[in-house]
Chain A
Amino acid sequence: MTNVYVHGVGMTQFGTFVDRTMKDLLLDACIQALNEAGNPKVDAVYVGNFMGGSIYNQEILGAIVANELGLGFIPTAKVEGACASGGIAVRQGVLGIQSGEYETVLVAGVEKMKHASTADVTQAINAAMDNDSNEKRAGLTFPGFFGVLANRYFFETGASKKHLAMVALKNRENAIQNPLAQFRKPATLEEIMEARMITNPLGLYDCSPMTDGAAAIVLSSKKSPVHVRSSAQSSGPTQMQDADDLLSIPAIRESGRLAYKKAGVGPEDIDVVEIHDCFSMTEMLAIEELGFFSKREGWKAIEEGRTKVTGDKPVNTSGGLLSRGHPIGATGISQLYQLVHQLRGTAPNQVAGNPRLALAQNLGGTGSYSVVHILERV
């Protein structure tokens, strides 16, 4: 099979940019990535985006990129997979190159959220749930799902709200070192635990924020020092009441299993990780589902500091969704941005020992989609 390599990455500052348009952010990230790649001839463009249509009245993002950058009349598409839009867009680029159709693909992700009211954004995000269900009509929300999950996790394990706070604190400490992160103000464990309740037991710091931002990556079959060792995707239950085991997110587990199988490696081989921590609880569960720690024991690994930059399995050295920020369509690509820098040895919170294998996991909905990419320094 054709190998796929990373030739360039780009990322805007994540945060609140009332004076920047979605197009401005999107093109900024694309130009950074293309410059780093040496401005190659691009054969196709994929753009990950979730709510451009619903809250910004802007679609045709793929064609806009090709037109504004003067890439020619090449094929383009927008990819939607809720919060996994960016990761799925990258996967489309990988598949397009592996099929032999394209040599070089530009993949970007963008979201513009901060211009809208929280109520409007919440409403738009709810599009990532099955709205034609008794569950939605009962008033379940996104953070509500992870609140229900967290209470059961606490019930079955020794974990408590303090462990969720430890995840949030770790990711904040990492973001402080990341100049592109949205939240770089120090926080304390007490502050995090005492913050305003959103959906019991999740407080404000346990939930990812609304963010403006964009990220981009140039992929090619031509060789480079960063190899996309595998790309895998799965789906899962779209309703909480359909879950066979509430404390498992099958899409994460299955996409991880497939990615390891394709790469011929196991969780023990991975040196650095970016995980989809839309909520602190999600990170605690994902580190179990991806096989880094045993089921029902992720909280112990967090307590022991094993997922810190200095731990044996560093997770979210960028600050994660919780503190780097979560511009929905850009998130999956911003994870790869951090990991490419980790493999090059140029990342904020660079992990020790010249990491060789890096894993990114990007989740959509409450477990509707999950994408895993494993990158390798070659």
Chain B
Amino acid sequence: MKIFACTSCDYHSVTSKYTCPKCQQGKLQEKEVSTKGTVYSFTDIHVAPAEFAHIAPYTVALIELDEASVKVTARMDSEVAIGDAVDLKGLEEGAFIYTKAN
């Protein structure tokens, strides 16, 4: 997975920024890390906006990547609990779809 790391401090993010928001000096540089991660938290969305109504209820999780201090928001393909090991299943219309790792 492509993440962004600051050139002058320890800031990491899954989204790029013009300037590092932590030290406000460094620039963010692309870095490749494993997609494997752990569920930091989650919710099951029962009431969905019109565009997602056909798949409700569905689970959205905040995933902490194993190889960097980065969190990623993803849709799960099943229910999860905090602490579950997960991995990327694929991309769907710009969304990360994660699945429980065995």
A interface residues (Cβ-Cβ under 8 A, vs B)? 119, 122-123, 126, 133-135, 137-141, 143-144, 147-152, 155, 196-202, 239-244, 246
Contacts and interface: CB of A to CB of B under 8 A. Distances in A.
Interface string B49-66: 110100100101110000
A139 B58 contact: yes
Interface in B62-102: 62, 71-75, 82, 93-96
A152 B83 CA distance: 11
B31 interface: no
Interface of B: 13-15, 22, 40-50, 52, 55, 58, 60-62, 71-75, 82, 93-96
B44 to A, nearest CB: 4
Nearest to A147: B43
A134 B95 contact: yes
16 contacts: A122-B50, A123-B49, A123-B50, A134-B74, A137-B95, A138-B74, A139-B55, A139-B58, A151-B42, A200-B44, A200-B46, A201-B43, A202-B43, A241-B62, A241-B72, A242-B13
Nearest to B61: A148
Give chain B's interface secondary structure class: strand
A138 B47 CA distance: 14
A133 B74 CA distance: 11
B42 A140 contact: no
3 A-B pairs with the lowest CB-CB distances in the bound complex, closest first: A147-B43, A152-B41, A135-B73
Contacts of A126: 49
Contact of B82 (A141, A147, A155): A155
A201 B47 CA distance: 12
B15 A133 contact: yes
B94 A200 contact: no
Chief secondary structure at chain A's binding surface: helix
A202 B71 CA distance: 22
Given A148-B43, A241-B14, A141 B49 contact: yes
B53 to A, nearest CB: 8
B50 A148 contact: no
Given A134-B95, A134-B96, A200-B43, A148 B49 contact: no
Given A139-B60, A149-B41, A152-B41, 9 more contacts: A123-B49, A133-B15, A139-B48, A139-B52, A140-B60, A141-B49, A147-B44, A151-B43, A241-B62
A197 B46 contact: yes
A138 B73 contact: yes
A122 B73 contact: no
A143 to B, nearest CB: 7
Nearest to B46: A197
Determine which residue in A139, A140, A150 has the highest number of CB atoms from chain B within 10 A of its CB, and name it.
Answer: A139
Given A133-B15, A134-B94, A152-B40, A139 B75 contact: yes
B14 to A, nearest CB: 6
A137 B72 CA distance: 12
A140 B74 CA distance: 9
B21 to A, nearest CB: 8
A332 B42 CA distance: 30
A41 to B, nearest CB: 44
Nearest to A151: B41
Contacts of B61: 148
A368 to B, nearest CB: 14
Contact of B75 (A138, A197, A198, A244): A138
A239 B72 CA distance: 10
A4 B44 CA distance: 46
B62 A148 contact: yes
Given A139-B52, A155-B82, A246 B62 contact: yes
B55 to A, nearest CB: 7
Contact of A241 (B48, B58, B73, B75): B73
Nearest to A207: B47
Nearest to A139: B52
A155 B49 contact: no
A155 B41 CA distance: 9
Contacts of A196: 46
